Chains A and B, each alone.
Chain A
Amino acid sequence: MNGVHDMGGMHGFGPVEAEAGEPVFHAPWEGRVLALRRAAGAWRRWNIDAGRHSIERLPPADYLRMTYYEKWFASSIRLMLDAGLITPQELETGRRDPAVPVATPPLTADKVPVAIAAGGPTLRQTSAKPRFVNGATVRARNINPIGHTRLPRYVRGRQGVIECHHGAHVFPDSNSRFEGENPQYLYTVRFAARELWGEGAHASDTVHLDLWEDYLDAA
Chain B
Amino acid sequence: MSHDHEHDHDHSHDHGHDHGQDVPSDTALRVKALESLLIEKGLVDPAALDAIVDTYENKIGPRNGARIVARAWTDPDYKARLMGDATAAIAEMGYTGAQGEHMVVVENTPEVHNLVVCTLCSCYPWPVLGLPPVWYKSSAYRSRAVIEPRRVLSEFGVAVADDVAVRVWDSTAEIRYLVLPERPAGTDGMDAEALATLVTRDAMVGVAKVAGPAAKEGA
Contact surface of A with B, Cβ cutoff 8 Å: 5-11, 13-22, 24-36, 38-40, 43, 48, 52, 55, 64-65, 67-70, 73, 76-77, 80, 85-86, 90-91, 94-96, 100, 102-105, 107-109, 111-113, 115-123, 150-152, 154, 166, 169-170, 172, 186, 188, 193, 196-197, 201-202, 204-212
19 CB contacts below 8 A, A to B, read A24-B130, A26-B16, A31-B56, A68-B134, A86-B41, A90-B37, A91-B34, A95-B37, A96-B37, A107-B45, A115-B98, A118-B96, A122-B173, A123-B102, A154-B119, A170-B174, A188-B175, A208-B169, A211-B172
B37: chain A residues within 8 A (beta carbon): 86, 90-91, 94-96
Contacts A5-B120, A64-B139, A209-B170; is A34 near B56 (CB within 8 Å)? yes
- Report how many residues on chain B are interfacial, defined by Cβ distance under 8 Å: 90
B77: chain A residues within 8 A (beta carbon): none
Which single member of B6, B28, B140, B169 contacts A15 (CB below 8 Å)? B140
Q: Does B99 lie at the interface of the complex (its beta carbon under 8 Å from any beta carbon of A)?
A: yes
In angstroms, how far is the closest chain A Cβ from the Cβ of B83?
12
B19: chain A residues within 8 A (beta carbon): 27
- The reply to whether A26 and B41 form a contact with Cβ atoms under 8 Å apart is no
Quick check: which of B7-15, B65-73, B187-195 contacts chain A, the rest being far away?
Answer: B7-15
- The reply to whether B146 and A154 form a contact with Cβ atoms under 8 Å apart is yes
| Assembly CA distance A207 to B10 (angstroms) | 28
B36: chain A residues within 8 A (beta carbon): 94
- From 31 to 58 in chain B, residues with beta carbon under 8 angstroms from any chain A beta carbon are 31-38, 40-45, 47-53, 55-57
